[in-house]
Amino acid sequence: MERFAFELIDYEWEAGAEVYERHDDVTLLWRAEPFRLEVAGRIGDSQIENFGQLMLLPPHIPLQSHGPTRMAGSSQVLACRFNPKWLSEIFGMNPSAIREDLCISMTNPHIAYAMRRSWSALVSPSFAGAFLAEGLAMTIAADLARHLSAGEKLGRTGGTLTRRQLVLITEYLCEDANWPPTVSDLAAVVNLSETHFRRLFKATVGETIHTYVERIRLDRAKHLLSSTRLPLKIISYRLGFAHPSAFSTAFTRLAGQSPKAFRRASSGSS
């Protein structure tokens, strides 16, 4: 591998099974489905945590995963692999110094969005797909370098949310029953006042909580439209919209096309 490579992987876990894997490259994993997965693990000597939708595997450090306790589980994952030497030369990143505790459940909306677009491009190939993959890989690598640099400082001052608080917020947003979330709901998850929560969230993530939630909701809508045949009415209710028309209006405003048009384009039909 010269610089980077994308790969779709189907993972399967037997109930209670332990799986070990190790990679020679820097590997980002983005889980396309299911949105929430009852699988936990650890990287190196870090603590055992539930898998996030976005994970980072440093080179030469083993990942130990524990399957669901009650029944077998499976997931489809997009892997974006980077040559460590290339990352070091181009982005000044030191892959061998990646903190293991920053990897098992990453929270970065920009990387997640780029991985989501990469997954869509692989599932539904289109014209100029190779150029799109090149641009997305560069974007992901640059955002990863920024994320790791910020992660070294995350939680060390009182001006940002801790990594644990970000994980709690992400897990809360993974539950369908919690949509639509309010700022009050999210602030309560991390035991902060609304005002303090808004300020810390903006300082940590770089965007307002409203923009972040909209991005997450759009991402979930695109996933449901492209990977399921659920009626628009069901999707709109799952995402907290009172009526399908409200969902269509919001989706069109953010995505630039209607849900039906997006679904047709994702399926490759005319």
**DSSP one-letter string for the chain:** --SEEEEEEEEEE-TT-EEEE--SSEEEEEEEE-SS---EEEETTSPPEEPPSEEEE-TT--EEEE--SSS-EEEEEEEEEE-HHHHHHHH---GGG--GGGTTT---HHHHHHHHHHHHHHHS--TTHHHHHHHHHHHHHHHHHHHHHHHTTTTSSTTS--HHHHHHHHHHHH-GGGPSPPHHHHHHHTT--HHHHHHHHHHHHSS-HHHHHHHHHHHHHHHHHHH----HHHHHHHTT-SSHHHHHHHHHHHHSS-HHHHHHHHHT--
CATH topology (fold) of 163-267? Arc Repressor Mutant, subunit A (1.10.10)
pLDDT at 4: 92
Q: Which CATH number fits domain 4-151: 2.40.160.20, 3.20.20.10, 2.60.120.810, 1.20.1250.20?
A: 2.60.120.810
pLDDT at 135: 84
Interval 116-161: pLDDT, tens: 888 888 877 765 667 778 888 888 988 888 888 765 554 445 678 8
Residue ranges covered by each domain of the chain = 4-151, 163-267
Interval 234-269: pLDDT, tens: 999 888 888 999 999 999 999 999 999 999 888 765
Interval 77-113: pLDDT, tens: 999 999 999 888 887 888 877 876 668 778 787 888 8
What's the whole-number average pLDDT of the chain? 82
pLDDT at 270: 42
pTM, rounded to two decimals: 0.59
